[in-house]
Each structure stands twice: as C-alpha cells, then as structure tokens.
Amino acid sequence: MRILLVASECVPWAKAGGLGDVVAALAPALAERGHEVRVVLPRYRSIDVAASGFVDAGSACIHLGRGIEQWIGVHEARLAGTVGVWLIECDRFFGGPGIYGSGAWDSDEPTRFGFLSKAALALALDRGFVPDVVHAHDWPTALACAWVARAEEAGLPGLSGAASVLTVHNVEYQGRFSTSVWPWLGLPEEWLSPELFGDQDGLNLLKGGAALADLVTTVSPTHAREMCGEPGGHGLGGFFAARADRLVGILNGVDEERWDPATDPLLPVQYSAGDLSGKIFCRAELQARLGLEARADVPIVGMVSRFAPQKGFDLVAQVVPAFVEGGAMQFVVVGSGDAATEAFVRGLKERVPGSVGVFIGYSEDMAHLAEAGADLFLMPSLYEPCGLNQMYSMRYGTLPIVRATGGLADTVEDACDDGSRGTGFVFAQATAEALEGALARALALWTEAPTVFDRLRQRAMSRRHTWQAAAVQYEQAYVAACEHHARLRAVA
C-alpha cells in the first residue's frame, strides 16, 4: 500500500503533544511491514532545515478556492531511514512562532491548516506519489479527508481512488471556527450543514472530516466507546454514536528504543526485570536532583504531566497533601501548564520540604529519571484518550495508579492483594475518595508486602505495547477504509 500521513506534528521536528510521537513511530512501523509511506508536515520557523538533515526539493504551486494560487517551497528528508518526509515551506501560513496559534474563534488556524491539508495532497500528486490511503490526524488535517472526498472537483483527480482515515487523538480539541473562512477553502456551501461541518453558528473541522472520512480511528478501544456518548464525546457523542460502525480504537504503542530501562542512556544506571538493582540508584539520583531526603523507608510517587484540569490535579490537591504531610510517601512532579496547578505543587513543596520535588517545565532527562526513580506513578485523569506514561511506567517497574478511562483502562490491570494478577492500581470514579482508596492500597502494598509489590512489578515490566502490533491494526483499518471507499464509488 501507498500511505500518505498528513500531520501538524512529527518528532523530532515538531512536537506539542503525543501526536508528534505517534506519527514518528507509526510511519516507520508501517514501512517495516512493506508499505510505501510518506509524511507531510509544515516547515515551522523553529525547524532548522539544514541542521535537521533536510535537502531542498524545489517548489510547487497549490490551487485554493476563489482561484487563489500559492507557491510553496519543499524540503525532503528521511525518518528512521525508511520513510520519506516532505516539509511544506510557506511563511504566510507557517512563519510565525510556535506550531499552533491561540485557537480563538477569529484566528487564522483554519486557513493555515486548511492550506496544509490541500497542499499535502497536491504535493504528493506533484511528486508522483499517488496514495491508496490518506491518513489525517486530528482537526488540523481533518480537511484532507474533505479534499479526498471531493478530489475531482478540487483539481485532484489522481486521488479519486484514495481512501481516507482520520485519527482522533483528543476529541476535546475539535477546530471550531467562524464560517467566514469557508469560501477561501473552496468547499461546497451545502457542506456547512449540521450533518457535516456545521456546528451551531460556526464550523467544526474535526466533525466534518470525520463525517467524510472512510474510517475514523482513535487511540484506544475504551476511548472509542467513550466518544459515542457524553461527556466523553465533548458534544459529539451522538454524532460518533451514529457512525460507530466506522469508528475503531487502536492503542498507541511505546517507542521501545527510547523507553527501555535496560538501555536508556538518560538513566544514571540501567536495569531490567531480571536485575532491578539499578532502579535503587535511579531512585537515589531522583531524590538528590529534586532535593528530597535520602530515605529508603517510604515510596516515591511520581507524576510527569501537563498541568491541566483533564489530568486530575483537582483530585491530587484534595488527596496527596495528607499522605505527604503524614510521612507516608514522597511526591515528585515534572510538568508545566496552568498557573493554579503550578502554585499548588510549589506550595506543597514549601510546606513539606524534603518530601516534595518539583520540576517546572519539560525535560526529557527528568521525565526518564522520574519514571525510573519513582516506585509508583500517578495518573488520575478525568479522561485520557490513550496515555503513554502509564505504559512507560510499567516498562520501568513503576506501578501506575490510574483512573479507569480511555487507554488507562485498556492498559493497566488492577492488582489484587496477593499479587497473583495486576500491573497497577485502578479506580473507577473521578472522586477524591476513590483516588484516596487506590493510593492507600498501593502505599500499603509497598510498605507491608514488598514481595507482593515486586511480583506486580515483574509482571508490569513484562507487558508489551508495541508499534509493530499497532501497525497491524492500522493496516486492517486501511483495508476496511479502502473497501468502504470502493463501495461508495460503486454506487456513485
């Protein structure tokens, strides 16, 4: 198969969240299975083309609505040695700071990413890469599915046989904007209907792209079910429920080259399930780096997270201080985001010095050290489409404490008291009482039943969530999308 991935992020060149990691890992995994894969993303100002290994690949002309033409520069490189990557350079749309703008109602986001969606398809055809499947990601490239559906009228007849797949990484972010941009996009006026792009008085790019895609995927089976209702659908529950037969949940994988305690170069000492002695050194280094007391008699509970309401910090603020102040645990937080959460973690550190370690910002080194040095990892998310940190934690022998939502429910098995099953500690309700119960249970096992805790740790480290397995499921999704597209063409 020829597969074109159109995305706003791809590691190592552009990353604002997990989307960049997914694209960077999925594309090579598909190539390993014999598919011809290309990735298209914008050349943001932050990307140093020469230093990043890109070469000049000429230019191309993109035709938009209202007879508008826009020339672009093209740069080319390889991802993992197997996947061709095209950067689209156009300062008019991508020359500003950062990847995303404010997201305000009247921002230029729909024109920027609408242009990316059209330009990626036109560029592929210009370079002779006629895809069997166009795979778009989240609202910024959802319009690619619309262009594929309207290929001949959009001046892209070479794509009339292509199927489209849209992956929803986080349904909360839908790309809702004013309809004033619609004529510029050159799409049919009737597509502003409530069944497609229409959303109250505006337009919804994710919704329209999902309606026109041959198949929609999301990043875990449980999240796929949650999207078909409320609050999990974030206003689109009924919309997705009506299309449940074309919605598939596929768990993200873990990049096992970057996240393996036996080979991780960011750890002071590597370790494995067969020899956990190195984890003790990582624990000591974490305590030293973040100013914790060098204690071996209490567990360390870690968090690496965006500071956002979604991540359950309101629950953390209600529950964790009592455990820390009572001397039952040490607490480590690595992350950044809203000011209220930052003030909370800083304040807790000031109240209980030596028992709380805080790193504000993102550091790959600190993220890896926190995963390795902690004993338990806290993820009390209100919702979590997939989540990766719980998978990293299990691989590093750091048992996760999670709420049963999205990918957390799909990847973490609740532990029983004798350790005969389980890979972490799971609670169902998004309440302080439920989190308190799960945390107390985890701390008690660490303190009172270390043999049982080690048994759970060994089992957690044996679990694998690979991109190779995910690629097989995406392959099946592509086949289903192609079959759906063929049926539509047969009756057209």
Q: At 330, which CATH number? A: 3.40.50.2000
The string of DSSP letters for 143-182 reads HHHHHHHTTTTTT-GGGTT-EEEEEES-TT---EE-GGGH
Q: Cα dist. 273→279, 389, 458, 462 in Å?
A: 10, 18, 6, 8
* Rounded Cα–Cα distance for residues 430 and 433 (Å): 9
Look at the alpha carbons of 238, 242, 243, 249 in this order and tell me if their dihedral is positive or negative.
Answer: positive
C-beta of residue 431 within 8 angstroms of C-beta of residue 407? no
* Rounded Cα–Cα distance for residues 18 and 7 (Å): 12
Tell me 94's DSSP state: H
Where is 456: in which H helix or E strand?
Answer: helix 450-462
**357 in the same domain as 399:** yes
Tell me, what's the pLDDT at 453?
97
**374 in the same domain as 484:** no
> Domains in the chain: how many in total?
2
C-beta of residue 149 within 8 angstroms of C-beta of residue 191? no
**306 in the same domain as 196:** no
* Rounded Cα–Cα distance for residues 330 and 373 (Å): 12
Domain that holds residue 27: 2-253+468-491
130 found inside a domain: yes
pTM flag (> 0.75)? yes
**235 in the same domain as 287:** no
Structure tokens at 5: 């991935």
**227 in the same domain as 83:** yes
C-beta of residue 472 within 8 angstroms of C-beta of residue 33? yes
* Rounded Cα–Cα distance for residues 300 and 356 (Å): 9
Tell me, what's the pLDDT at 104?
44
265 found inside a domain: no
267 found inside a domain: no
How are the residues of the chain apportioned to helix, strand and coil, as percentages rounded to the nearest 5?
Answer: 40, 20, 35
**57 in the same domain as 15:** yes
**472 in the same domain as 455:** no
420 found inside a domain: yes
Tell me, what's the pLDDT at 257?
87
Q: Which of 27, 18, 90 is nearest to 60 (CA)?
A: 90
Tell me 429's DSSP state: S
Structure tokens at 297: 């008699």
Residues 6 or more apart from 179 whose CB is under 8 A from it?
Answer: 192, 201, 202, 203
264 found inside a domain: no
Radius of gyration of the chain (CA): 23
**179 in the same domain as 211:** yes
96 found inside a domain: yes
451 found inside a domain: yes
**475 in the same domain as 449:** no
261 found inside a domain: no
**410 in the same domain as 323:** yes
Task: State whether residue 296 is helix, strand or coil.
Answer: coil
Tell me, what's the pLDDT at 102?
53
**125 in the same domain as 83:** yes
Tell me 466's DSSP state: B
What is the chain's pLDDT, residue by residue, as a tens digit (492 residues)? Answer: 999 999 999 999 998 888 999 999 999 999 999 999 999 999 999 999 999 999 999 999 998 767 788 999 999 999 999 999 999 999 999 988 889 875 443 468 999 999 999 999 999 999 999 999 999 999 999 999 999 998 988 889 999 999 999 999 999 999 999 998 888 888 889 999 999 999 988 999 999 999 999 999 999 999 999 999 999 999 999 999 999 999 999 999 998 888 999 999 999 999 999 999 999 999 999 999 999 999 999 999 999 999 999 999 999 999 999 999 999 999 999 999 999 999 999 999 999 999 999 999 988 999 999 999 999 999 999 999 999 999 999 999 999 999 999 999 999 999 998 999 999 999 999 999 999 999 999 999 999 999 999 999 999 999 999 999 999 999 999 999 999 999 988 886
**417 in the same domain as 326:** yes
